[in-house]
Structure 1
Amino acid sequence: MPKEFSRIDRIADQIQRELAQLIQREIKDPRLGMITINAVKVSRDMGYADIYVSLLTTEDLTEESPEVQESLAVLRKSAGFLRGQLGRAMKLRMVPHLRFHFDRLPGKSRRIDSLIDEAMGRKPVVDRSDDPESED
């Protein structure tokens, strides 16, 4: 028999959906990059929600990268506003405090994928040697 989702899991999923829309529509700070919310984990007592975000870029970023630090600072500064908007949108009696974290998993997975490709002797899907821009 399949396990049902708990209330905390459903709330975390809803927070993830609502925050994605709120960040895209309401936060107009130019320092904020293209943010993806990868996961939301809500504590059992609904006191805190840990939001794991990543930035959409072509380069591998770490938590110490200036772009990541700037984006996290903007998100942390707007956490109170986002929490209030979440309360209105979700109609929760108690809205958890929002804590934003950089998610290192996408970078690690790209690294592991490249190591596997290298070990298997596979070529990249996109061959950069035939790029017309590189001949200039």
Structure 2
Amino acid sequence: MPSRDFKRTDRVGAELRREISLLVHAAVRDHGLPSVSVSDVEVTRDLDWATVWVTALLPEQSATAVKALKELAIEFRRELSRSMRLRRVPELRFKYDESVDTGERIERLLREQAHDLSPKKDDNED
């Protein structure tokens, strides 16, 4: 029997990510929320819970965005039940994905370090 490359939770997570991305984009536009995007969706094995990881365009507005998305979670779940072919749509938990901010901070620090270590040209050498 051939092994499965993807588990059911992975397939459901990928489909949820696509659908929730559309719902979040519409919520940002309709409700005037800070600009956010869905970076990942992790689904529990029993498909009862889905953790939706979001990133914000402006990290200082992330708390506001996540709070608003948590308030809209019930509405999102209702929409997902209409658009997806699942017996039971998982409950949604929205969390802020700090990995992008951390990556940008590390990149900035590396650039600063490289700039500090670069050899300085002496302007009086001629």
**Same-fold call, TM cutoff 0.5:** yes
Question: What is the letter of the counterpart of residue 19 of structure 2?
Answer: E
* Mapping of residues 6-85 of structure 1, within 5 Å: 6-26=7-27, 28-30=30-32, 32-57=33-58, 61=59, 65=60, 67-85=61-79
Give 1 or 2: higher helix fraction. Answer: 2
Question: What is the letter of the counterpart of residue 108 of structure 2?
Answer: S
Aligned counterpart in structure 2 of residue 101 of structure 1, from 95, 103, 108? 95
Alpha-carbon distance change, 4 to 118 in structure 1, aligned in 2, over 3 angstroms: same
Distance across 2 between alignment mates of 1:102 and 1:3: 31
Task: Note the aligned Cα RMSD (angstroms).
Answer: 2.1
Equivalent position of 1:134 in the other structure: none
Question: What is the letter of the counterpart of residue 8 of structure 2?
Answer: R
- Aligned-residue offset at 1:2: 8.9
TM-score with structure 1 setting the length: 0.75
Distance across 1 between alignment mates of 2:83 and 2:73: 15
TM-score with structure 2 setting the length: 0.81
- SS of aligned partner of 2:37: strand
Question: What is the letter of the counterpart of residue 29 of structure 1?
Answer: H
Alpha-carbon distance change, 35 to 121 in structure 1, aligned in 2, over 3 angstroms: same
Alpha-carbon distance change, 90 to 6 in structure 1, aligned in 2, over 3 angstroms: same
CA deviation profile, 1:65-102 (whole Å, cap 9, x unmatched): 4x222211211111011001111111100110000001
Bigger Rg, structure 1 or 2:
2
- Aligned-residue offset at 1:110: 0.5
Distance across 2 between alignment mates of 1:68 and 1:114: 20
> Is residue 5 of structure 2 the alignment partner of residue 4 of structure 1?
yes
The gaps in structure 1 that reach 5 residues or longer are: 123-136
Distance across 1 between alignment mates of 2:111 and 2:54: 26
- SS of aligned partner of 2:31: coil
